[in-house]
Amino acid sequence: MSEQRPVGPLDSSQIPRFAGFATFARLPRIEEVPSADVAVVGVPFDSGVSYRPGARFGPSALREASRLLRPYHPGLDVSPFAEKQVVDAGDIAVNPFHIGEAIEKLQQEAEALTAGPTKLVTVGGDHTIALPLLRAAAKKHGPVALLHFDAHLDTWDTYFGEPYTHGTPFRRAVEEGILDTSAVSHVGTRGPLYGKRDLEEDRRLGFGIVTSGDVLRRGIDETVDALRQRIGDRPLYVSVDIDVLDPAHAPGTGTPEAGGMTSRELLEILRGLRGLNLVGADVVELAPAYDHAEITAVAASHVAYDLVSLLALGRDA
């Protein structure tokens, strides 16, 4: 940004936070400011799911839950909306009846949004959308390190013979050479698999795994240290599937698995990433039809807030 001060959220002491249109954290829309450092953008797409549908309603649920976010982040000691111009870039509308076309359009739109200095936090939508987002990130930064928070590996080959689904984005990404496979990790993995081969193939692709049990046994600090060492100075993309959380913390999702992380653990690990070379991030698989009292939407909105805050801190954290 130039000398101009960022346009922040609506003042909740003047306009109650439950009033008015829902943009992320009540921030301005992208059209309302000359340029943006960080944009939160929705992708209401769930045509790639293998079980419960409904993540197409994720972006609007997250925006509604984000009304309660406040401008200062004590955990990271940053006021992200004062440091940087953060905006809501609306939704990227993609074809719900054609996955291939949806992926192409999403990649184009993500490239257009990030053509300048703007960094994206994308709200899904199902996990299929990570592939075009990673393509756009790699086009700009070269192959990126990946930190993938998820109950699932999402490195399966095909479903019903189809290569582009929410269970396959990271295998496609490795095949396409858009990930730096010396620094790709899953965190929070658990639950039954199709066979032991799933793990062998995942390892062959280059992934390291920190299971949800590992996080419990090692604790936050040791987990963060190991991840930071692996990532180093590389451009980093963070993908958060909200089903990384235990169904008690995130019932509103399509493929829930027992034994997951708490939202506290996830947020603490994210805060441990400050100072890394974060270039983009997503939060996916929020499916509000299965939610209760906005439990999952609130958790996802806080994850998005932490990701925005990390981007607002930038490298000088």
- The residue ranges that bind Zn ion (CB under 5 A) are 127, 150-152, 154, 241, 243
> What is the smallest separation between the CB atom of 48 and ligand ALG, expressed in angstroms?
8
According to the binding rule CB under 6 A, does residue 241 interact with ligand ALG? yes
Residue 239 binding ligand ALG, by CB under 6 A = no
Binding ligand ALG by CB under 6 A: which of 1, 33, 50, 93?
A: 50
Select the binding partner of residue 41 from Zn ion, ligand ALG, none (C-beta < 5 to 8 A, by kind). Answer: none
| Nearest distance, CB of residue 257 and Zn ion, angstroms | 8
| Rg (alpha carbons) of the chain, rounded to whole number | 18
Figure out which of the listed residues 47, 85, 189, 255 binds ligand ALG, where binding follows CB under 6 A.
Answer: 255
* CB nearer to ligand ALG: pick between 86 and 106: 106
Indicate which of ligand ALG, Zn ion, none lies near residue 50 (CB less than 5 to 8 Å, by partner kind): ligand ALG
Q: Is 167 an interacting residue with respect to ligand ALG (CB under 6 A)? A: yes
51 contact, one of Zn ion, ligand ALG, none, CB 5-8 Å limit per kind: ligand ALG
What order of strands is seen across the sheet that includes strand 208-211?
86-91, 38-43, 119-124, 278-284, 236-241, 144-149, 179-189, 208-211
Question: Which of 88, 109, 154, 291 lies at the binding interface for ligand ALG (CB under 6 A)?
Answer: 154
Distance CA 158, CA 163 (A): 5
First to last CA, the chain: 18
Hey, what are 146's tokens? 């990946």
In angstroms, give the least distance from the CB of 53 to ligand ALG: 12
Give how far Cα 278 sits from Cα of 9, 100, 303, Å: 23, 28, 15
Instruction: List CB contacts of 15: < 8 A, sequence separation 6 or more.
Output: none
The reply to whether 18 sits near ligand ALG by the rule CB under 6 A is no
**CB under 5 to 8 A by kind: which of Zn ion, ligand ALG, none does 167 bind?**
ligand ALG
For residue 162, give the amino acid letter.
E
* Binds ligand ALG (CB under 6 A): choice among 105, 148, 152, 172: 152
141 lies in the site for ligand ALG, by CB under 6 A:
no
Q: Quick one: which of 196, 203, 283 has its CA closest to 244?
A: 283
Site for ligand ALG in 169-188 (CB under 6 A): none
Q: Kindly state the smallest distance separating residue 209's Cβ from ligand ALG, in Å.
A: 15
Longest dimension (CA), the chain: 57
Q: Where are the alpha helices (DSSP H) in the chain?
A: 58-65, 80-83, 99-113, 130-141, 169-175, 196-205, 212-218, 220-231, 263-271, 295-313
Does 243 bind ligand ALG (CB under 6 A)? Our answer is yes
Q: Does 285 bind ligand ALG (CB under 6 A)?
A: yes
CB of 101 to ligand ALG, least distance (A): 21
In total, the chain counts a number of residues equal to: 317
Say which residues have a Cβ less than 8 Å from residue 105's Cβ, sequence separation at least 6. 92, 94, 95
Residue 176 burial (CB count, 10 A): 13
The pair of three-digit structure tokens given for residue 29, joined into one six-digit string: 């829309």
Nearer of residues 54 and 143 to ligand ALG, judged by Cβ: 54
User: Which residues here bind ligand ALG, judged by CB under 6 A?
Assistant: 50-51, 127, 152, 154, 166-167, 241, 243, 255, 285
